[in-house]
């Protein structure tokens, strides 16, 4: 997964979830949450079924606001973050990890 963004900007991170290499249907009543971890700090978001998501094919799009991404501490060298996605379907909880998310300090 290759995602690059600057701190201080709105971002949408699309994640194709699979089980045993195959897509699946996420129940419309499910709660999908995600946490972006940069090593020390974390920002989280709850995902809802929007125009960008396709729960019928287990595609979720995780939104983070400019204020949330501005809270990520980045020095002069970009850092790599990890996105943890959790799907809770009536107590049946499954988790995925997305890596390779490059975060660069914004200049504005």
Domains of the chain: 3-104 (2.60.40.10)
Write out pLDDT tens, residues 29-88.
888 888 888 876 678 777 765 657 888 999 998 888 898 888 888 888 898 999 999 999
Cα torsion through 73, 100, 54, 35, rounded to 10: -40
Q: What is the pTM of this model?
A: 0.85
Q: What pLDDT score was predicted for residue 49?
A: 59
Task: Give the rounded distance of the alpha carbon of 73 from its chain centre.
Answer: 18
Q: For the chain, percent helix, then strand, then coil, each to nearest 5?
A: 5, 50, 40
Q: What six digits make up the tokens of 4?
A: 């690059």
**How far apart, in whole angstroms, are the C-alpha atoms of residue 30 and residue 89?**
5
Q: What does the pLDDT average to over 99-107?
A: 89
């Amino acid at each position: 997964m290759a995602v690059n963004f600057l701190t201080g900007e709105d971002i949408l991170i699309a994640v194709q979830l699979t089980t045993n290499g195959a897509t699946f249907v996420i129940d419309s009543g499910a709660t999908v949450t995600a946490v972006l971890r940069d090593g020390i700090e974390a920002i989280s978001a709850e995902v809802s079924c929007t125009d960008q998501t396709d729960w019928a094919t287990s595609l979720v799009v995780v939104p983070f606001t400019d204020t949330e991404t501005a809270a990520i501490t980045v020095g002069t060298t970009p850092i790599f973050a990890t996105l943890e996605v959790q799907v809770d379907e009536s107590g049946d909880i499954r988790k995925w990890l997305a890596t390779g998310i490059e975060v660069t300090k914004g200049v504005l």
